């Protein structure tokens, strides 16, 4: 049985907190790519295929593996594939790369309805912009075979065949870097004031009128992924959901699921001195595939500093269970 629970939080922004991304300049040099590494019991053959593919592509420049390993250890990176933009930027800065590759590779023994066993190789590949912290690409490879060796070999072959396409994405992303930065520097939206801020005077927070539970994607289910997706969302003065910007990504279709749910939210706009205003908020969905107690009750979740949107939902609505 799959259990899911979502929490929504308002982002209490102050100058410099999760505001505009830092300016990014474009270079004429080939993008520098680092293989930071994979987690899981099948990481070795996957990393070998990626290393060979990177070495054979002249469109990019590879960061020395020894340098990468030292930088990753110094940055105390724990192998997480559920990073915020800020965490990804710090990791990219420590390594000194334009893009980095992380992921999860596992071999899982399963059985079908006839109780015949087989091995499934599951590979999740993340390519991340090391300067902006954005996820450039996520790809999911799933191959079944009768043996561990066959499943692993099939997944490695598929990965090798797709890697040229991955590099195409990296090159295109790098070439459009300046344009992306310019697009982000447009509309100014009011940030939610802190509870004790003087800006709170004359301000009424938006009220949500419904809750939408995101789907738990099949890819995430197969890979047994628990992760958090965070989006910076504009709640427009006309009561319409505006720009949705993912600031903590997780892959496996979770971002798309979160965005679809966010687009269905209904709310009354924030009010400033009697007039509706657009505000920027953080919406967070915690995706869990659990068997047993709901993990949202963990102490680590209770201590989150963000303000729970359940506090501003209309009282007639029941809180999530």
Tallying the residues shown for the chain, one arrives at: 321
Sign of CA dihedral 91, 94, 99, 101: negative
Question: What is the domain count for the chain?
Answer: 2
Question: 13 with 133, same domain?
Answer: no
The encoded tokens of residue 242 equal 């505006």
Question: 58 with 176, same domain?
Answer: yes
* pLDDT reported for residue 179: 65
Distance CA 198, CA 307 (A): 18
Q: The domain spanning residue 266 has which CATH number?
A: 3.30.2420.10
* pLDDT reported for residue 64: 95
145 φ/ψ angles, rounded to the nearest 5 degrees: -160, 170
Question: 198 with 127, same domain?
Answer: no
Residue 25 lies in a domain: no
* pLDDT reported for residue 290: 56
* pLDDT reported for residue 232: 93
Distance CA 28, CA 136 (A): 19
Q: The domain spanning residue 100 has which CATH number?
A: 3.40.50.10610
Question: 122 with 193, same domain?
Answer: no
Question: 62 with 173, same domain?
Answer: yes
Question: 205 with 238, same domain?
Answer: yes
Residue 26 lies in a domain: no
Question: 157 with 275, same domain?
Answer: no
SS3 for 22?
A: coil
Question: 191 with 150, same domain?
Answer: no
Q: Which domain holds residue 276?
A: 9-18+187-311
Question: 206 with 303, same domain?
Answer: yes
Question: 270 with 284, same domain?
Answer: yes
* pLDDT reported for residue 150: 95
Which residues of the chain are modeled with pLDDT < 70? 1-27, 178-188, 290-321
Residues of the chain with pLDDT > 70, as a percent, come to: 78
């Amino acid at each position: 049985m799959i259990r899911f629970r979502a929490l929504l939080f308002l982002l209490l922004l102050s100058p410099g907190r999760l505001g505009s991304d830092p300016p990014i300049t474009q270079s004429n040099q080939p993008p520098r790519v680092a293989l930071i590494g994979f987690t899981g019991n099948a990481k070795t053959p996957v990393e070998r295929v990626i290393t060979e593919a990177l070495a054979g592509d002249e469109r990019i420049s590879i960061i020395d593996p020894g340098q990468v390993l030292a930088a990753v250890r110094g940055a105390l990176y724990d192998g997480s594939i559920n990073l915020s933009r800020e965490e990804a930027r710090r990791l990219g800065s420590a390594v000194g790369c334009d893009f980095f590759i992380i992921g999860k590779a596992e071999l899982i023994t399963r059985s079908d309805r006839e109780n015949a066993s087989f091995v499934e190789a599951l590979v999740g590949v993340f390519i991340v912009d090391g300067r902006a912290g954005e996820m450039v690409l996520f790809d999911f490879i799933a191959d079944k075979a009768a043996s561990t060796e066959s499943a692993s070999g099939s997944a490695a072959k598929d990965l090798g065949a797709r890697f040229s396409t991955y590099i195409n994405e990296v090159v295109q992303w790098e070439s459009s870097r300046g344009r992306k930065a310019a697009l982000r520097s447009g509309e100014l939206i009011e940030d939610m004031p802190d509870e004790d801020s003087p800006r709170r005077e004359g301000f009424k927070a938006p009220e949500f009128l419904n809750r939408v539970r995101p789907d738990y994607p099949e890819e995430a289910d197969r890979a047994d992924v628990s992760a958090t997706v965070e989006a910076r969302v504009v709640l427009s003065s006309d009561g319409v959901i505006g720009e949705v910007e993912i600031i903590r990504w997780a892959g496996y279709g979770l971002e798309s699921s979160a965005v679809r749910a966010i687009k269905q939210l209904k709310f009354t706009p924030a009010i400033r001195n009697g007039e509706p205003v657009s505000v920027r908020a953080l919406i967070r969905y915690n995706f869990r595939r659990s068997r047993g107690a709901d993990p949202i009750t963990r102490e680590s979740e209770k201590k989150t500093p963000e303000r729970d949107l359940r506090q501003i939902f209309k009282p007639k609505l029941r809180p999530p269970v």
